[in-house]
């Protein structure tokens, strides 16, 4: 029997996915010879054609091979969004090596964990991150390191203007090679054929919101399934212009803003960091057709005080992932651009999407329908065999081609979330409606039990965003001796807004059921976030536990 969501499959998108049998690195190499003058990357106005990109990737592959990197070896990238990240990543795959993409905001201990846990033998880093990297490398003399100066990729007059931090001098440590010079003197090495069914593409570390970050082992087949699926779903092609501002080390940016545009033969407009003014200027100037962002970016764009001064009508497709977007923000985005911002859902362990809204029939407030080859199951929390009916909120399980093989070197942790039959426990809560669309209610560990009632934070946050003064909101449970937990909202106000916590508590009780309405509201200047923009509720929860003397 055909799943109900297939009734709403996007028009013109094949229902069967043919996974490519070559890496994106091989696709770039081939295009570099077939269409060398087409722009592949635009970096603050610097155009890098497919011919130039293919040569840089092949020389970087040659340099890695000369350093002894072989198929299966790990190459760790400790970099922001720069052309050097693109080149280094593709060069590793050209050799059949495994990429480990580290967060450029890491401190020494965090970088050391991923370097040691993955067993990476080569580190490619931004020169500006050398102090952190060298502190780690001092105790690891067997790791080869090379540094890239992002200024080497900037044009004489960058546009949009980069953040001043990007233009500051960053010295490469003595004795370490400069990435640009290192690859320039290497021989070109064409990408090697790989068995995509068996070759590991990535060890993708989780964000570490609970416990020590674990490395999800992602096969080339799994990576390519979502890259090709994204190309089909978004109708991307050689004429598409993709605004790439999400961190490329993160799965959403990696798949949709980097690998998919290059597989499609399109153009990446690459920005190193998200700043609202710079982002909007780039979107307008380069007439971007595709953009994938996250909720915090969407909020910043729609709340920009001069947003109506810009032309955003070039967008043909816009998607958001990482966290649910409040419906008022979705409505405002459609009003401003004429495009419906579609939501999707995925994890590091599924190398981005498992569900996405159909572009021709999105449902605001949902994260869409399962993509190619994905099965979806909603169960009682902690009880896989107890599948829940339509409309009931429970734990989300998924199965599909993009699911990881397991956690690197952690068989017990793998068994906790991945069944032998391929079902993966996301740890998220949600429900499927009568049309097969998935709705997210939050993390199972964030479920609030207030006086016996289950309160789903995302639902309360969505209601809070309807208040005209609220720019951002995070809802958590705080210890309560009588109710077990009490609902608390931590909010950031829109510029110029003048409301008190008491005003928001009263408004909440007037606009939602009493058991889910926040009894405590705290107003802050900003919320703690990851480098990819996700709100870190873990930090808020830990703060409350410390206040209560529980941590």
pLDDT value for 209: 41
Tell me the domain boundaries of the chain. 448-547
Q: Are 440 and 422 in contact (CB under 8 A)?
A: no
CA 263 to chain centre: 18
Give me the chain's average pLDDT, please: 92
pLDDT 10s digit of each residue in the chain, 551 long? Answer: 789 999 999 999 999 999 999 999 999 999 999 999 999 999 999 999 999 999 999 999 999 999 999 999 999 999 999 999 999 999 999 999 999 999 898 889 889 999 999 999 999 999 999 999 999 999 999 999 999 999 999 999 999 999 888 888 789 999 999 999 999 999 999 999 999 999 999 999 985 444 578 999 999 999 999 999 999 999 999 999 999 999 999 999 999 999 999 999 999 999 999 999 999 999 999 999 999 998 778 888 998 989 989 999 999 999 987 666 777 888 889 888 989 999 999 999 999 999 999 999 999 889 999 999 999 999 998 899 999 999 999 999 999 999 999 999 999 999 999 999 999 999 888 999 999 999 988 777 777 877 666 687 877 888 899 899 999 999 998 887 667 789 999 999 999 998 999 999 999 988 887 878 999 999 999 999 876 677 888 889 888 878 877 65
Q: Which tens digit of pLDDT belongs to each residue from 351-395?
A: 999 999 999 999 988 999 999 999 999 999 889 999 999 999 999
CA 321 to chain centre: 7
Query: Within a 10 A sphere around the Cβ of 390, how many other Cβ atoms?
Result: 12
Query: Within a 10 A sphere around the Cβ of 36, how many other Cβ atoms?
Result: 15
Q: What is the DSSP letter of 412?
A: H
Taking each helix axis from N to C end, the angle separating 130-137 and 108-118, rounded to the nearest 10 degrees, works out to 50
The structure tokens listed for 468 are: 């005209």
Q: Give the start-end residues of each E strand in 183-271.
A: 200-205, 215-219, 241-244, 267-270
Q: Closest Cα partner for 152 from 83, 237, 200, 60?
A: 83
Q: Among all chains, which residue has been given the structure tokens 């990476």?
A: 120
Q: Which tens digit of pLDDT belongs to each residue from 71-122?
A: 999 999 999 999 999 999 999 999 999 999 998 988 898 899 999 999 999 9
> What class has domain 448-547?
alpha beta
User: What are the backbone dihedrals phi and psi of residue 265, each rounded to the nearest 5 degrees, phi first?
Assistant: 80, 15
Partner residues linked to 529 by β-bridges: 535
As to burial, measured by CB atoms within 10 angstroms (0-12 exposed, 13-18 middle, 19+ buried), residue 306 is exposed
pLDDT value for 208: 46
Q: Are 408 and 214 in contact (CB under 8 A)?
A: yes
pLDDT value for 166: 87
Distance, first Cα to last Cα, the chain = 50
What does the chain come to in residues? 551
The kind and range of the H/E element at 94 are: helix 83-94
Exposure letters 111-147 (e unless 16+ CB within 10 A, then b)? bbbbbebbebbbbbbbbbbbebbeebbeeeeebbbbb
Helix (H, G, I), strand (E, B) or coil at 381: coil
Residues 6+ apart with CB under 8 A from 543: none
The structure tokens listed for 373 are: 């080859």
Q: Are 400 and 352 in contact (CB under 8 A)?
A: no
Q: Which tens digit of pLDDT belongs to each residue from 285-341?
A: 999 999 999 877 888 899 898 998 999 999 999 998 766 677 788 888 988 898 999
Q: Are 43 and 154 in contact (CB under 8 A)?
A: yes
The kind and range of the H/E element at 479 are: strand 470-480
Helix (H, G, I), strand (E, B) or coil at 76: strand
Residues 6+ apart with CB under 8 A from 149: 127, 170, 172, 178, 179, 180
The structure tokens listed for 376 are: 């979806």
pLDDT value for 106: 86
Rounded to an integer, what distance in angstroms lies between the CA atom of residue 116 and that of residue 205?
A: 13
The structure tokens listed for 387 are: 């599948």
pLDDT value for 534: 77
């Amino acid at each position: 029997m055909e799943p109900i969501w297939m009734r709403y499959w996007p028009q013109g998108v094949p229902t069967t996915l043919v996974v490519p049998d070559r890496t994106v690195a091989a696709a770039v190499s081939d295009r570099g010879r077939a269409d060398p003058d087409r722009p592949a990357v635009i970096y603050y106005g610097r155009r890098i054609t497919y011919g130039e990109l293919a040569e840089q990737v092949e020389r970087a592959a040659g340099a890695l091979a000369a350093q002894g990197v072989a198929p299966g070896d790990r190459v760790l990238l400790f970099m922001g969004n720069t052309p050097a990240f693109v080149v280094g990543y593709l060069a590793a795959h050209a050799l059949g090596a495994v990429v480990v993409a580290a967060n450029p905001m890491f401190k020494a201990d965090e970088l050391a964990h991923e370097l040691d846990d993955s067993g990476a033998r080569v580190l490619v880093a931004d020169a500006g991150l050398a102090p952190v990297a060298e502190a780690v490398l001092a105790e690891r003399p067997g790791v080869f390191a090379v540094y890239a100066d992002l200024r080497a990729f900037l044009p004489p007059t960058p546009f949009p203007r980069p953040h001043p931090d990007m233009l500051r001098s960053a010295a490469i440590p003595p004795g370490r090679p400069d990435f640009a010079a290192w690859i320039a003197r290497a021989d070109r090495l064409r990408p090697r054929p790989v068995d995509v069914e068996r070759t590991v593409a990535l060890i993708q570390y989780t964000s570490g919101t609970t416990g020590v970050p674990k490395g999800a082992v992602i096969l080339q087949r799994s990576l390519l399934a979502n890259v090709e699926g994204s190309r089909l779903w978004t109708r991307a092609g050689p004429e598409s212009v993709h605004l790439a501002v999400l961190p490329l080390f993160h799965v959403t940016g990696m798949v949709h803003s980097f690998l998919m545009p290059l597989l499609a033969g399109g153009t990446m407009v690459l920005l190193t960091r998200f700043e609202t003014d710079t982002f909007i200027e780039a979107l307008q100037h380069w007439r971007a057709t595709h953009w994938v962002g996250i909720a915090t970016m969407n909020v910043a764009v729609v709340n920009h005080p001069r947003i109506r001064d810009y032309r955003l009508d070039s967008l043909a497709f816009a998607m958001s992932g990482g966290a649910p977007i409040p419906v008022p923000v979705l409505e405002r985005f459609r009003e401003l651009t004429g495009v419906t911002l579609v939501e999707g859902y995925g994890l590091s362990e599924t190398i981005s999407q498992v569900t996405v809204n159909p572009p021709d029939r999105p449902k605001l407030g949902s994260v869409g329908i399962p993509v190619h080859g994905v099965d979806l199951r909603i169960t009682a929390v902690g009880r896989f065999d107890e599948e829940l009916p339509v409309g009931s909120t429970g734990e989300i399980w998924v199965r599909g081609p993009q699911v990881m093989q397991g956690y690197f070197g952690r068989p017990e942790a793998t068994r906790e979330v991945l069944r032998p039959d391929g079902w993966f426990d996301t740890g998220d809560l949600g429900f499927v409606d009568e049309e097969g669309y998935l709705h997210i209610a939050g993390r199972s560990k964030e479920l609030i039990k207030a006086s016996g009632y289950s309160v789903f934070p995302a639902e309360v946050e969505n209601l809070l965003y309807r208040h005209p003064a609220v720019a951002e909101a995070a809802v958590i449970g705080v210890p309560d001796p009588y109710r077990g937990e009490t609902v608390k909202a931590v909010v950031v106000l829109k510029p110029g807004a003048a409301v008190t916590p008491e005003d928001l508590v009263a408004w909440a009780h007037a606009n939602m059921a009493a058991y889910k309405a926040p009894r405590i509201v705290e107003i802050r200047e900003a919320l703690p976030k990851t480098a990819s923009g996700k709100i870190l509720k873990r930090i808020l929860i830990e703060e409350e536990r410390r206040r209560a003397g529980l941590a």
